[in-house]
Amino acid sequence: MNTIEAFARGDAGRNKPPMVFDWNKAARLIKESQPKEAWAGLKNDWEWTGGIIYCDGKPVTDSYTYLASTHAMPEIEMDGVICDCYLSINETEWDSKTKWPVTALDILEG
């Protein structure tokens, strides 16, 4: 994405509440599909925001991700399938720095 496109997208979402990655939904999807790996990122901006979140049956907590935006939907990718995976920031206490909250870990382990 070039600078002008990034500015235009940011401007379009200026007064909207940010979307944040839905860790609980991600945990449910991972538990159901049992992928070898799962990745998370922002739609059309994975190069700068995405990273691995699950590998070989375990959550990954030490990779970089930036999973909040007013204009780009957070997504999850599992075994080549990408789907939207977000909440409005008004619906949760999570933000772009959240990584595997206890509620999501409980879903994975339960």
pLDDT of residue 16: 83
Using the 8-state DSSP alphabet, how is residue 16 labeled?
A: S
CA distances from 47 to 10, 24, 43, 60, 67 (A): 17, 24, 10, 18, 12
Residues whose CB falls within 8 Å of the CB of residue 101, separated by 6 or more in sequence, listed in order: 23, 94
Q: Which among 17, 66, 12, 69 has a CA at the least distance from the CA of 39? A: 66
Tens of pLDDT, residues 16-73: 899 999 999 999 999 999 999 999 999 999 999 999 999 999 999 999 999 999 999 9
Query: What confidence score (pLDDT) does residue 6 get?
Result: 54
- What pLDDT, on a 0 to 100 scale, did the predictor assign at position 55? 97
